[in-house]
Structure 1
Amino acid sequence: MEASSYEFLKQLLHTPSPSGYERPIQDVVRKYVASFADTVRTDAHGNVIACKNPEAKVRVMFAGHCDQIGMLVTHFHDSGFIYAQTIGGWDPQQLIGQRMVIWASGGPIPAVISRKPIHLLTDEERKQVVKLDDLWLDIGAKTKQEAQELVRIGDPVTLQLGLVEMRNGLANSPAMDNKTGLWTVIEALRRASLQSLQVGVYAVSTVAEEIGLRGAQTSAFGVDPHIGIAVDVTHATDCPTIDKRQQGDIALGNGPVIFRGPNMNPVVTERLIATAKEKLIPFQMSASGRAVPNDANALQLNRAGVATGLVSLPNRYMHSAVEMVALEDLDRAADLLAAFVVGLNGDEDFTP
């Protein structure tokens, strides 16, 4: 991974982007793509759409959602504690004892989220799964008035952000889902832009995936692609307790994952596989027998239908503070997407 691309990834992972509050990360994307995209625009929904070769008759759209799961402030306790509801699919157990940040208009405010200590739990409470209603944010305020001078109802909240490198080329951070996918589609556009292109390539930083694939739906309508490839994370199964019989055998560091199934166009899928083999890009296979819960779902159903593919990045501990990926998997995924579009002449038939 080139140094400038790695810095871009770190910047993404240090920037807050809970669904509905994606403006800061979209500013980062716009600044980065300006040096190599022919056009960059932001639609009314907030999707950032960067394009290379916009005059081409065949349009290929890469979709990587920029939003992360988070929270938003809903209530102030008289003693200055703050309550919040979730944005996206949280396991409340993951939130106990976490360092958080409230992104207020006056700047970020550090917070912790917790509940009463285990010593004070009753025997019955110790047996119960924690509920979100039992957790609160603590910013150190002494009164409701003090908290309200800093924070407003509706302010977004995230886990404390930041990339931590680990052994064997691995790294952990909140929001690997899906800032890694966002990085991949932007980097694929950059790498493709350095070569000859016969098709128009649109890399879209989509919003609001975590609350219903909303940005992919609206941006795909605007781009009207003939071919669409979504890039998101998928569950790595190379850790204890996960049943590989249903989830597949997916390991960090073994390459991006190409999906097969009814949500994916078989011609696109086979071309992705052939491209990976031709370019000697390591890859893994997985399958889904249903509509996938990511942007590939919205892409496939756009207008009269889009020939859709899904390339995923293995991720351990999804929707937690310690999501873990192999950086080499991201690099290989960007190479795969770039090689895929460079290999198109615009006359291909993707009819199943």
Structure 2
Amino acid sequence: MPKKARSFTPPQFLVDLLDARSPSGYETEAQAVWDAYVAPKADSTARDALGNRISTLNPEGDPVLMLAGHMDELGLLVTYVNKEGFLYFATVGGIDRVMIPGRRVAIQTKNGLVRGVTGKRAVHLLDGDDRKRVPEVHDMWIDIGVGSRKEALERVSIGDIATVEHGFELMNKSVALARAFDNKAGAYVVGETLVRLASARKKPAARVVAVATAQEEIGVRGATTATFGVNPHIAIAVDVGHATDHPDVDKRRFGDFRLGGGPMICRGPNINPWVFDLLLTCADRAGIPYQIEADPRPTGTDARAIQIARAGVATGLVSVPLRYMHTPCEIVDLEDVEACVQLLVEFARALKHGDNGHW
């Protein structure tokens, strides 16, 4: 008889983060989720001018360990309304233009959500050359179902932000899809790590500072200021990484990573070797599967800002394998997300007084 697959219940904290609309610079909804789930378990939670959420456990502990996962996501920023009431936009973050047309979007306005659809000329109205061309951003618009600029501006304002409406859904067992696993998964991991450490009988030796960072998608901006303020000895950034277990990807160029294979632990110049070795030791000791990622340059994550803050920080990077990054339907295995939490809990507990990652 085949083994029955166990049911998987997704963590509500993660689901609520995924439901939150929080493009870079507009992170209010994700901040509220963090404040509801993490702040009550922390000894203190601070906010700053960039919108970071900075929660501290064991404030007298040593060393200072910072865990960072960015809570911002991609978005469309309203920049112009034409006389017929169609909204033109700029992209916030690295959006693949081919993915933009034909999407339901929610625009956050001072009067609540306004629903719209991203539009472009239909394929029937394109000539041969245009059919081969990816439309420029200025060739697309958001249709909110009005007939004039005046009517549109009664509902939306220049500078309002829109997000694509693709909610969380379990696909098969623990494999799930959502709009913004990049990087609500990482924000969840660092927040949940603090929650579990706070709930344990024995507190870690380290002061643990979990940070939901802002504006990573437009230049690791929140991590830059948060690290300066926290001034950690050691830090782990948690983000998503490219799973390459799907068609049309050259593993010689991008490595071999799969959903369900466990956290991706990065190694390279952006990574402190002492931190890397301790992460592997903790994973082996706890029986946590992992995949090693090699990156020869500063990574495209908060880790690149954290490493060179102040006099330098011993930095690691742990990533959740993810398919279809920066698209409206990203896919992860929630077992990998859980394994990342377990790894960070083990890492925090392994730190001893005086550890600083110097080598």
Superposed pair shares fold, TM > 0.5:
yes
- In structure 2, the residue matched to 1:105 is 110
List runs of 5+ in structure 1 lacking aligned partners.
Answer: none
Aligned pairs for 1:55-94 within 5 A? 55-94=60-99
- In structure 1, the residue matched to 2:3 is none
Structure 2 CA distance for partners of 1:218 and 1:186, relative to 1, 3 Å: same
- In structure 2, the residue matched to 1:158 is 163
1: distance between equivalents of 2:120 and 2:96? 15
Give a deviation string over 1:132-178, Cα, whole Å, max 9, x none: 11111001011111110000000011101410110131111111100
Contact 2:233/2:356 (<8 A) preserved: no
2:141 matched to 1:174? no
Task: Indicate which of 30, 34, 38 corresponds to 2:35.
Answer: 30
Q: CA deviation at 1:243?
A: 1.0
Kindly provide the amino acid, as one letter, of the partner of residue 324 in structure 2.
Answer: Y
Task: Indicate which of 335, 347, 354 corresponds to 1:340.
Answer: 347
Contact 1:64/1:181 (<8 A) preserved: yes
Indicate the larger mover: 26-35 or 145-154: 26-35
Aligned pairs for 1:248-263 within 5 A? 248-263=255-270
List runs of 5+ in structure 2 lacking aligned partners.
Answer: 1-5
SS at match of 2:274: helix
2:243 matched to 1:273? no
Structure 2 CA distance for partners of 1:306 and 1:2, relative to 1, 3 Å: farther
Indicate the larger mover: 324-333 or 48-57: 48-57
- In structure 2, the residue matched to 1:222 is 229
Pairs aligned (count): 352
2:246 matched to 1:239? yes
- In structure 2, the residue matched to 1:53 is 58
2: distance between equivalents of 1:111 and 1:271? 48
Contact 1:5/1:187 (<8 A) preserved: no
Task: Indicate which of 315, 337, 358 corresponds to 1:330.
Answer: 337
Q: CA deviation at 1:9?
A: 0.8
2: distance between equivalents of 1:52 and 1:39? 7
Kindly provide the amino acid, as one letter, of the partner of residue 71 in structure 1.
Answer: L
2: distance between equivalents of 1:247 and 1:168? 27
Indicate the larger mover: 123-132 or 301-310: 123-132
After TM superposition, which residue ranges in structure 1, 4 or more long, deviate above 6 angstroms? Answer: 1-5
SS at match of 2:248: coil
2: distance between equivalents of 1:171 and 1:5? 9
2:212 matched to 1:196? no
2: distance between equivalents of 1:62 and 1:224? 12
Give a deviation string over 1:106-134, Cα, whole Å, max 9, x none: 11111110211111111121121221111
Kindly provide the amino acid, as one letter, of the partner of residue 278 in structure 1.
Answer: R
Contact 2:185/2:337 (<8 A) preserved: yes
2:269 matched to 1:290? no
Kindly provide the amino acid, as one letter, of the partner of residue 301 in structure 2.
Answer: N
Q: CA deviation at 1:349?
A: 4.8
SS at match of 1:165: strand
2: distance between equivalents of 1:62 and 1:349? 15
Contact 2:74/2:92 (<8 A) preserved: yes
Contact 2:10/2:334 (<8 A) preserved: no
Indicate the larger mover: 101-110 or 217-226: 101-110
Give a deviation string over 1:241-261, Cα, whole Å, max 9, x none: 111112111001111100000
Kindly provide the amino acid, as one letter, of the partner of residue 289 in structure 2.
Answer: P
Contact 2:104/2:116 (<8 A) preserved: yes
Task: Indicate which of 151, 155, 161 corresponds to 1:146.
Answer: 151
TM-score normalised to structure 2 length? 0.95
- In structure 1, the residue matched to 2:219 is 212
Contact 1:42/1:49 (<8 A) preserved: yes
Contact 1:80/1:141 (<8 A) preserved: yes
Contact 1:47/1:207 (<8 A) preserved: yes
Indicate the larger mover: 302-311 or 26-35: 26-35
Q: CA deviation at 1:7?
A: 0.9
2: distance between equivalents of 1:20 and 1:221? 19
2: distance between equivalents of 1:161 and 1:242? 25
TM-score normalised to structure 1 length? 0.97
- In structure 1, the residue matched to 2:310 is 303
1: distance between equivalents of 2:171 and 2:285? 31
Q: CA deviation at 1:4?
A: 9.4
Contact 2:63/2:355 (<8 A) preserved: no
1: distance between equivalents of 2:335 and 2:231? 32
